[in-house]
A and B are shown apart, each in its own frame.
Chain A
Amino acid sequence: SQKIEQNSEALNIQEGKTATLTCNYTNYSPAYLQWYRQDPGRGPVFLLLIRENEKEKRKERLKVTFDTTLKQSLFHITASQPADSATYLCALSDTGGFKTIFGAGTRLFVKA
């Protein structure tokens, strides 16, 4: 069955450092991959999308890489800030876009 795995343990880093989150998937050939941020008690918020034919995408302090051979995406937050502390969800969508599957998320704590 389709499966998405993200770092199950929380990630603790110091302010100013780069946070790197991993998303691995199996039994799936996604048309694109997305990263969302979720704060406690709130709905996910879209951050970045990368397509199957793209290797890397950037947006301000965020960078996503996508390796369809390894079936892996890496999500980087550079110059991290305490306000970046949240749960980050990886999501995969098929070509039609009507079915998206989510990973369980990685909890990120950025210490001042």
Chain B
Amino acid sequence: DTAVSQTPKYLVTQMGNDKSIKCEQNLGHDTMYWYKQDSKKFLKIMFSYNNKELIINETVPNRFSPKSPDKAHLNLHINSLELGDSAVYFCASSPPGTNPGETQYFGPGTRLLVL
């Protein structure tokens, strides 16, 4: 029944490590997103994908590399983790339409802590 799922839910790792977060949606949506929510609770867009193609890369460092193997999945790989990467990362998806972002369905979030 889960609409947008993310794994893992929690991720604790050391600085300099490489980690991946997976996202899957079973809603049949064409558009998927990655957001970062920092300690001040601001939710910031990182990437937007439409039909597996990158649409928006919101000045995210090259250490972050999204990959969309198919329309239902958008994974996020992070190289050389830094302390400032600690945050909650949310995946979201939205249905096709004139304005794809009108209604976004969010996953439960992945809480990343870099030590």
Contacts and interface: CB of A to CB of B under 8 A. Distances in A.
Given A32-B102, A93-B99, A99 B56 contact: yes
B106 A44 contact: yes
Interface string A93-104: 101111111101
Interface residues of A, number: 23
Nearest to B102: A49
Interface residues of B, number: 30
Contact of A105 (B35, B41, B44): B41
A95 B100 CA distance: 9
B103 interface: yes
Given A43-B90, A44-B43, A87-B41, A100 B108 contact: no
Nearest to B43: A102
Contacts of A45: 106
Interface of B: 4, 31, 33, 35, 40-45, 48, 50, 55-56, 58, 90, 92, 94, 98-109
24 contacts: A31-B99, A32-B99, A32-B102, A42-B109, A43-B106, A43-B107, A43-B108, A43-B109, A44-B90, A46-B103, A46-B105, A89-B43, A93-B99, A96-B100, A97-B94, A97-B98, A97-B99, A98-B31, A98-B50, A98-B56, A99-B58, A99-B101, A100-B101, A102-B44
